[in-house]
Structure 1
């Protein structure tokens, strides 16, 4: 505990080499609380991030991997790929350390509801709390615990199109199916709850930090587009994907009808419908 407080207060005054040594010692000795403090304080240096990610994967520390995505600003593409593959296809006995992730999302969702029903907030803050409660409920319900971990990846500013495209190409068919189901689930959520939308102010004004880590509709659509572009032939050839694609096509048709009226994302959705339609057409020719 004392070491954690020291890192919190003096971490930025500790030399880079010393931080690396503390990081390595924490991994070897499994000093998880100290390691969490180092990550959250943003003290992980570029040269040690890859070793940290791989070590956490080996030790099945899903909770700390989420923190890496959240707090290491220069996380490299290979590390993001490793984390993505881990969350899409978690190893056996990896669930013990991921329970805290679900509890955190539940806690944030309940806090949002509490604030939304509070009589002590101004109307402006109350409206913000209501918006946040819808968003967090949407992000929590019906997602598996490891899918909650994926939220951090797809809401991360580190995940640009180039990085995602590079990562998607390296996924196997099982991981790809999990990813399509995850993204499809998000499309269903945004279709069912069109009022759910980004509310970053809820993080600073209401303490609802999870609002910063909910993938936007734009992010979901962009990611799905990259999946279709990079794995077109696989999607056509493997029957496991066909049902998912048909479901996604129906949802996107509904979304694009609404999007035409209110936002420029309609064009992106329309292109996705064409891609999915092409997959369906190719599938028909193969049958």
Structure 2
């Protein structure tokens, strides 16, 4: 069957979205295109479409697809009776499946199978070869068996389909797995409005039973802030690295001090490039009064921080150079102002008409006014500097 015939057939067949794909993995294009040849001995070079023949996927791809089908069938059968299906057996199945994939594609893992993080490393190295259908099934099994570390691995490695996130976020919220919600914000490529509403409500009005997991996120930020302070006073560092460490220490101090544990989780939401502004605006419009006040208070804290510490700024190199990963997730002033603008644009009438918002609005207005004045002065100085440079 030619490539054109495959495309035509796929377009003509009205398959349901839930039906398994004939090619559930990303195929190797090099081996396919290398075998394609004109169907006619003397094709017309000016023809808009030249029929081709020789369409055939590689043997490796065929074997990977077959592996996925067998694994899916076995896992589906096990999930029909989850009472007799435990975490140990599941991990054994997944490891065996991923090891077979590793052998087919010839990838080295570099970690012993006895290592606690072995399965996570396998996901990182060969997870992309599973295919979205198999990955979705593995995710379902992880949720049923509550294998949360693998849920995190699937999210972090981009193996969760966008269509799965609404159900996934709801289940994570129900189980109070704060660290996984933060990972969804960081790694999900296209969160919808319903998912963002659940995430915002979870962080802005956290329940008592979520406190323990939220505190764990705080501990991560605290650990990074302390590490930055150590780096800043490390006498073995010098020059650019020491300067970078000091900048990172200031930045993480600003991001950590004065914020509640739940507010630290909101940092990820402001920084994430995966959150669409229009969808965020829609999600914010669905917050209740208490949640809106909490969001305004959080944004106000950031504005006051940047007013007080104007030297604090992005320090992304510290993430790779000094191991201060949290530096990548500290909101810039632009991020804070953008979110503040979204809140005000979407809810201006309600914010003005309801007195419970007035105190926060006055506070924000005062800080923004101060920042605006400072920005104007900086612009004036910059203009003078440019003119002096031009004259020189």
TM-score in same-fold range (> 0.5): yes
Unaligned runs of 5+ in 2: 1-115, 381-392
Which residue, 359, 373, 382 being the options, matches 1:257?
Answer: 373
Let me know the Cα RMSD of the aligned residues: 1.6
Match of 1:236 in 2: 352
Which residue, 251, 254, 260 being the options, matches 1:144?
Answer: 260
Write the distance in 2 (CA, Å) between the matches of 1:263 and 1:14: 53
Write the distance in 1 (CA, Å) between the matches of 2:311 and 2:142: 44
Deviation for aligned residue 1:40: 1.8
What do residues 209-259 of structure 1 show as CA deviations (whole Å, max 9, x unaligned)? 111111111111121122122212221222111111111121112111211
1:88 equivalent to 2:204? Answer: yes
Cα 1:263–1:100 shift into 2, 3 Å: farther
1:119 equivalent to 2:228? Answer: no
1:202 equivalent to 2:315? Answer: no
Write the distance in 2 (CA, Å) between the matches of 1:93 and 1:153: 22
Match of 2:29 in 1: none
Match of 1:178 in 2: 294
Match of 1:65 in 2: 181
Cα 1:199–1:56 shift into 2, 3 Å: same
Write the distance in 1 (CA, Å) between the matches of 2:164 and 2:279: 20
Match of 2:338 in 1: 222
Deviation for aligned residue 1:10: 2.3
Write the distance in 2 (CA, Å) between the matches of 1:211 and 1:162: 26
Write the distance in 1 (CA, Å) between the matches of 2:220 and 2:314: 19
What do residues 43-66 of structure 1 show as CA deviations (whole Å, max 9, x unaligned)? 112221221111101111111100
Q: Give the match's secondary structure for 1:96.
A: helix
Deviation for aligned residue 1:81: 2.5
Deviates more, 1:249-258 or 1:138-147: 249-258
What is the TM-score of this pair, normalised by structure 2?
A: 0.64
What is the TM-score of this pair, normalised by structure 1?
A: 0.87
Match of 1:76 in 2: 192
Deviation for aligned residue 1:263: 5.9
Deviates more, 1:44-53 or 1:62-71: 44-53
Paired residues of 2:191 and 2:275 also in contact (CA < 8 A): no
Write the distance in 2 (CA, Å) between the matches of 1:172 and 1:49: 23
Deviates more, 1:241-250 or 1:181-190: 241-250
Write the distance in 1 (CA, Å) between the matches of 2:190 and 2:338: 22
Cα 1:263–1:113 shift into 2, 3 Å: farther
Deviation for aligned residue 1:182: 0.4
Deviation for aligned residue 1:188: 0.8
Q: Give the match's secondary structure for 1:143.
A: coil
Write the distance in 1 (CA, Å) between the matches of 2:315 and 2:254: 13
Which residue, 133, 136, 159 being the options, matches 2:275?
Answer: 159
Q: Give the match's secondary structure for 2:212.
A: coil
Structure number having the greater helix percentage: 1
Unaligned runs of 5+ in 1: 265-287
Deviation for aligned residue 1:75: 2.5
Match of 1:188 in 2: 304
Q: Which has the larger radius of gyration?
A: 2
Which residue, 247, 263, 266 being the options, matches 1:131?
Answer: 247
1:245 equivalent to 2:370? Answer: no
Deviation for aligned residue 1:17: 1.4
